[in-house]
A and B are shown apart, each in its own frame.
Chain A
Amino acid sequence: MAKIAIIDDDPDIIDASSLVLTSKGHEVITANNPDDGYKIVKENSPDLIILDVMMNEPDDGFFLAQKFRKNNINTPIIMYTSVSKTTGIDYGVNEMVPVNEYVEKPISPAQLIEKVEKLLHQNIER
């Protein structure tokens, strides 16, 4: 089973997501701001990161993702987004935003588990 970091400023989302992932036997570590998020990833080397795009500032999640990659932390990242549809911004996986998957909030437990399993599986194959 894997170690997964959840970085989100909404404690309710952290709790709900944690519960879903622990129910599948994963170990979950959490942080509610970018600085703590970077710290827990650096110290615990999780297998997967779930990252909210909008924390204190609208782009906090993007910047944190870039910071991970710049510092050679290549752990797969699932990015939680919430307003891409309303604003018409089409997020895509690319070098500017070095994440592996996007998930639009709200997300059902089944969807979350599916995305997590998929990425963990890919990572093992690599």
Chain B
Amino acid sequence: MDQQKQKILIVDDEKGLRLGTKRLLEKEGFEVVAAENGTEGIAFGTSIEFDAAIIDMKMPDFDGIMVLKEIIKKYPNTACFIATAYASYDTAIESARVGAFSYIPKPFSPEELLLQINKGLEKRELNIQKEQWRKEREERLLEVAYEKTRLNTIINSISDGVLVINKNGEAVLYNPSALKFLVLKSITIEEYIIDKLPEKLAEQVNNFLKSSEYLKRSLTVQIHMKDNDLVVEATSSPVPAPDGSLAGVAIVIKNITELKKLEFLKSQFVSMVSHELKAPVAAVYGFLKLISDKSMNLSPEKQDEFIDRSIIRLDSLLKMVNDLLDISRMEMKTTQREIIELNLPDIINNILELFQLEINKKNIKIILNAALSTPSLSGDQDEITRLFTNLISNGIKYNKQDGSLNIKIEKIDDYLVTEIKDSGIGMKSVERNKLFHEFYRVKNEFTKDISGTGLGLSIVKRIIDSYAGKIEVDSEFGKGTSFRIFLPVIKNSQKNNKETLTNMQLA
């Protein structure tokens, strides 16, 4: 700007004055353009931006005021002067009204002219700067507004509830999740919100607002919302003002309903496990106390009996602990699986051999019915064996003397379906519904002498689920029970992959 010469326009029909002024100003280092009438003045003055214009008031075509108006319309920052020989109060007012910087009475001395022009240029600079500041400020405001919308969009899309309260207890900011988790129909910005909050949360927020000193830590509370099953966790944190005092409280509300349900199931499970583990311990403890108590005078036969019974209880306790460990391994999915092609009839024959003693004792008739073309099953040998061992073991344990156990294997659609049907004691429908629950055992006259952990079928269910299969139960009390196990058969196209996988794992 400093390097470039400042440009001045002279509009005057009086040639001598025009040229004289031009020369004077050029000597002062300005770039000067002269126009000899109003038309030319308007043409020049609106083609480029002049820093200043000296316009003669009286010209044959247009008057100076007209010229000035046109120039200012295009370049409002050009410092315009009206030069007039008829300087009057009215002229001054008129020129000022249309936006002239000042007026110069004719004739003028060079000093007078330069003084005026410099003042005008100064003013122009100020105006330009002012305008720039205004523009910058506008831009910044726009940016702030944009940031604010963006922030709102972000807060609204957060799945946790967000509610910000100022130090007067009025709502400042909230998102839709906050409405949902606080079970509120609406929140109005700047309304007093504390009374609308659940009691525990209101208390927590008041801890911040009513405290005489600034609490720096966050507070968390769990709230069971009335009238529905919603459980939320609200964390309130202080929001500092620039001066370090408390500006308000920001509350984040999380939906922890599912977590609470899981927690409840977990503690229920723990309590069941404890009870089941403690029962045999209590029995064995009772027997040992009796044996060790000399005042009881137990006969050697009685002592032996109690020792034997203790061993039986400890055996079943050990089985239960092992079953529990298996379940926990399945839950944590840490079981190492070795998927191979399995021949199900072979597996079942092997299991039946293991139970030969029990089968003979109860004189149970075994019928195994499997088509020759039974497709092979892809699975982990230990898991599949475990699955059918538990079911066959039940079929024998809960069977009657001289009963029967029918096992049928067939392919139905994409499933290998195994039916295991016993002629045992059967179940009532209430009992059937709880069958796969951990530790559930049907208790009645028939079952009181049958030992078990209550985990066998629960393990069966878990294994079947992990193979994306299903199990159906049909039972009639006193007549028998039949289980149908559906395990998906892997199609040939996928078989090659499976084999590769197997080889890799075996290698």
Contacts and interface: CB of A to CB of B under 8 A. Distances in A.
Given A12-B309, A13-B282, A20-B296, A83 B274 contact: yes
A86 B274 CA distance: 7
A106 B293 contact: no
Nearest to B313: A12
A11 interface: yes
B308 to A, nearest CB: 11
B275 A83 contact: yes
B270 A87 contact: yes
B92 interface: no
B283 A109 contact: no
Contacts of A2: none
A33 B443 CA distance: 9
B2 to A, nearest CB: 85
Contacts of B282: 10, 13, 82, 105-107
B290 A86 contact: no
A109 B290 contact: yes
A109 B289 contact: yes
A58 B275 CA distance: 10
Contact of B286 (A54, A58, A82, A106): A106
Contacts of B436: none
Contacts of A75: none
Contacts of A17: 286
Interface in B227-279: 267, 270-271, 274-275, 278-279
A86 to B, nearest CB: 4
Contacts of A109: 286, 289-290, 293, 296
Contacts of A73: none
A13 B283 contact: yes
Nearest to A54: B275
Contacts of A93: none
B290 A11 contact: no
Contact of B274 (A23, A32, A87, A106): A87
Given A12-B309, A56-B443, A109-B296, A87 B267 contact: yes
B226 interface: no
Contacts of A83: 271, 274-275, 278
Contacts of B270: 86-87
A16 B296 contact: no
How many chain A residues sit at the interface, stated as a range, is 20 to 34
A82 B290 contact: no
Contacts of B443: 9, 33, 55-56
Nearest to B295: A23
Give the residue among B278, B285, B286, B448 with the most A Cβ atoms within 10 A: B286
A108 B267 CA distance: 28
B347 to A, nearest CB: 35
Interface residues of B, number: 26
B281 interface: yes
Contacts of B275: 54, 58, 82-83
Interface string A77-102: 00000110011000000000000000
Contacts of B284: 12
A87 B289 CA distance: 26
Contacts of A55: 443
B448 A12 contact: no
Contact of B271 (A19, A56, A86): A86
Given A33-B443, A56-B443, A82-B279, A16 B290 contact: yes
Interface in B295-341: 295-298, 306, 309, 313
Nearest to A9: B443
A16 B283 contact: yes
Given A9-B443, A10-B283, A20 B290 contact: yes
B483 interface: no
A70 to B, nearest CB: 24
A19 B287 CA distance: 10
Contacts of B289: 16, 108-109
Contacts of A20: 290, 296
Nearest to B441: A56
A66 B274 CA distance: 25
B286 A13 contact: yes
Interface string B445-473: 00010000000000000000000000000
A16 to B, nearest CB: 4
A95 B297 CA distance: 41
B296 A105 contact: no
30 contacts: A12-B283, A12-B286, A12-B287, A13-B283, A13-B286, A16-B286, A16-B289, A16-B306, A19-B298, A23-B296, A23-B297, A33-B443, A55-B443, A58-B275, A82-B275, A82-B279, A83-B271, A83-B274, A83-B275, A86-B270, A86-B271, A86-B278, A87-B270, A87-B274, A105-B282, A106-B282, A106-B286, A107-B286, A109-B286, A109-B290
Interface of A: 9-13, 16-17, 19-20, 23, 32-33, 54-56, 58, 82-83, 86-87, 105-109
